[in-house]
Structure 1
Amino acid sequence: MHKPIIAVPMGDPAGVGPEIIIKALQDRKVQMAARVLIVGDRAVLEQAMTFCKSRLAIEVVEKAAQGCYAEGTITLLDMANVDVKTLRIGQVQAQAGKAAFAYLEKATQLALAQEVDAIATTPINKESLRAADVPHIGHTEMLEELTATKNPLTMFQVFDLRVFFLTRHVSLRRACDLVTEASVYEFIQRCVKALEVLGVQNPSIAVAGLNPHSGEHGLFGDEEVNEIEPAVKRAQADGVRVVGPVPADSVFHFGLKGRYDAVLSLYHDQGHIATKMVDFERTISLTNNMPFLRTSVDHGTAFDIAGSGSVSEVSMVEAIYLAALYAPSFNKDAEEKRG
């Protein structure tokens, strides 16, 4: 069976990224689903193996195609850009932020050159990026620039629940203002296209309500009546299988049970809470609308436990698995578009 090559940039070397990589590579689910190429630093990984009491071999390659990707082996593209003697585990530092950006940049180059099939990212630290004068606050912003992509589309998945976000990193007050007929209609269309790229044909989508009980027909809040319902009706007239607004206290439950292929959440915490309450560690972020597929763990660098070997690898396992699962359909669609 052909297994896709998934590039995993090591993330902040002072955080738990190196440890979750080492643990994930020993998981049977990862071994069966993908060939994993780590973009990172050999000395850091060797140090992390002592934290995790692991004895993996390291295979250093210059190109993804050179790797044998054997069990018990870390296939590594070694950037050799960290001085472990001065690296302070669990602390903000410019060296770590600079290295984390370099790993993502290299992984992006490999994906754009189609040398790898997708990337699965590990945690980075915003303060370390700032200390290194990296002019971006997170992965998505860096990937926007590195791929010249406008408006990447984020989807969360946990088990069979998929969630898109109409708004994300804005205040709740601002998020409410952004719930307009035009924006909801546009996002319904974007969600349909993203799901089809991932191999979900003729998808069904539910739009979450904004107010309690979806406003009870305007009794407390009129966004559903004035903005959401008209957008849903427009999309339905286009032939889209969409319903809503569905009250937020039930729509995610129905999505998890398979009634819908995806739910459109209207603001950040509405969807984040829903997915993470199902299973915090298995909630994975997928970035669509780029030249390649990117998945990511949805936790941070965990400086408080970095270096202890106690971090769970479950989220990293799931991120690699979903990248391998969706990459063939995503790349087939991209190839067809290139003609």
Structure 2
Amino acid sequence: MPRSSTARPRIAITVGDPAGIGPEIAIAAAASREVRAVCEPVLYGPHSAAALAGFPVGQVSAAAGQASYDAIVAAVRDAQAGAVHAIATGPVHKEAFAACGLPWKGHTDLLGHLTGSPRAAMMFHSEPLRVVLATVHVPLRDVSRLLTQALVEDIITLTARSLPDFGYITPRLGLAGLNPHAGEHGLMGDEDDAVLRPAVEACRARGIDVQGPLPGDTVFLKATRGAFDVVVACYHDQGLIPVKLLAFGQSVNVTLGLPIIRTSVDHGTAFDIARQGTADATSMVSAITLAARLASARLASSRPASGSP
């Protein structure tokens, strides 16, 4: 049966690792007034008391890793088939993934694999600051090697192409430098001048409004004061420390570059407080409502114009 033009989008909510807080925040968020007002939530993964009994609370296990993986696969399958319009994911545990033999370090690389996306990137979206990561879950010693000009160009281009979906029609990007003072013209490392600067120049030549590399100790401050709509960070902690300092619990993890909409919480599995009734569902609510907003906009743009046959 065709959906009416006023129908709310259906949002898949995966519960994440069943040994952590994912199931309880997913249930709480799905039942919240804010979520029910903007979408039809659909839970994926073990979340009933009976289903959760098979997963010891707060413990890494292959079974929990497999269950969280299976929920993601099912949600992606349904999103690709149009049965749901977006996915909001609960936190998974990387060690549990590894325990059941999965090669992926988390959602971003797994979702890229499942959807056949050649390049996916992690963005943290919040009111005071938006950050995209050029590299994600890799050891710090490997960051310099992985930061090629081609990668940085791809991430900048993907970010500029994606930001209009979030209301930034002509986005302004700032690229954080890798080294202190963005290398100080080679005095503190040559990656900024040899890799990052040429990537910025190439993107600017294609019409992208991007500046950098800029010193990492000031670029985020400039962004919060309105100089940039988003900052591209070179590595995980460089980007996530400022956004979590400013908006922990309210920021949303968004995967750019996928054919489907995917959002997530800005925190981990919190094994230490799992099933104690104290977990805060605010970030999950934010993730679901942002997914619903993006899905509603996409649905609206795909409907025939008024008066069309």
**Same fold per TM (> 0.5)?**
yes
Is 2:271 the partner of 1:310? no
TM-aligned CA deviation for residue 180 of structure 1? 4.0
Q: Distance in 2 between matches of 1:133 and 1:248?
A: 36
Cross-structure match for 1:51: none
Task: Tell me, yes or no, if the aligned pair for 1:293 and 1:330 is still in contact at 8 Å.
Answer: no
Q: Distance in 2 between matches of 1:334 and 1:207?
A: 33
TM-aligned CA deviation for residue 148 of structure 1? 2.3
The SS at the match of 1:169 is: coil
Q: Distance in 2 between matches of 1:332 and 1:218?
A: 50
- Map 1:177-326 → 2, pairs under 5 A: 177-326=145-294
The SS at the match of 2:213 is: strand
CA change 1:32–1:248 in 2 (3 A) is same
User: Deviation string for 1:282-324 (max 9, x for gaps)?
Assistant: 2321112112011111322222111101111111111112211
TM-aligned CA deviation for residue 12 of structure 1? 2.0
Is 2:13 the partner of 1:8? yes
User: Deviation string for 1:36-83 (max 9, x for gaps)?
Assistant: 111234xx43x3xxxxxxxxxxxxxxxxxxxxxxxxxxxxxxxxxx75
Q: Distance in 1 between matches of 2:98 and 2:141?
A: 28
After superposition, the CA RMSD in angstroms is 2.6
Task: Tell me, yes or no, if the aligned pair for 1:198 and 1:330 is still in contact at 8 Å.
Answer: no
Of residues 57, 69, 76 in structure 2, which corresponds to 1:108? 76
- Equivalent AA in structure 2 for residue 209 of structure 1: G
Task: Tell me, yes or no, if the aligned pair for 1:252 and 1:274 is still in contact at 8 Å.
Answer: yes
Q: Distance in 1 between matches of 2:205 and 2:100?
A: 50
Cross-structure match for 1:20: 25
Task: Tell me, yes or no, if the aligned pair for 1:292 and 1:330 is still in contact at 8 Å.
Answer: no
Q: Distance in 1 between matches of 2:102 and 2:302?
A: 30
Q: Distance in 2 between matches of 1:117 and 1:160?
A: 27
Is 2:128 the partner of 1:123? no
Task: Tell me, yes or no, if the aligned pair for 2:16 and 2:89 is still in contact at 8 Å.
Answer: yes
TM-aligned CA deviation for residue 91 of structure 1? 1.9
Name stretches of at least 5 consecutive residues in structure 1 with no aligned partner.
48-81
- Map 1:30-69 → 2, pairs under 5 A: 30-41=35-46, 44-45=47-48, 47=49
The SS at the match of 2:132 is: strand
TM-aligned CA deviation for residue 121 of structure 1? 0.3
Percent identity (aligned): 41
CA change 1:219–1:145 in 2 (3 A) is closer
Task: Tell me, yes or no, if the aligned pair for 1:14 and 1:87 is still in contact at 8 Å.
Answer: yes
Task: Tell me, yes or no, if the aligned pair for 1:184 and 1:231 is still in contact at 8 Å.
Answer: yes
The SS at the match of 2:88 is: strand
Q: Distance in 1 between matches of 2:101 and 2:199?
A: 42
CA change 1:197–1:330 in 2 (3 A) is farther
User: Deviation string for 1:144-191 (max 9, x for gaps)?
Assistant: 332222332211112242211122222323212334444333322222
TM-score (norm 1): 0.79
Of residues 136, 153, 160 in structure 1, which corresponds to 2:104? 136
TM-score (norm 2): 0.86
TM-aligned CA deviation for residue 85 of structure 1? 4.6
Paired residue total: 299
- Equivalent AA in structure 2 for residue 269 of structure 1: D
Task: Tell me, yes or no, if the aligned pair for 1:198 and 1:329 is still in contact at 8 Å.
Answer: no
- Map 1:146-185 → 2, pairs under 5 A: 146-185=114-153
CA change 1:241–1:307 in 2 (3 A) is same
CA change 1:179–1:150 in 2 (3 A) is closer
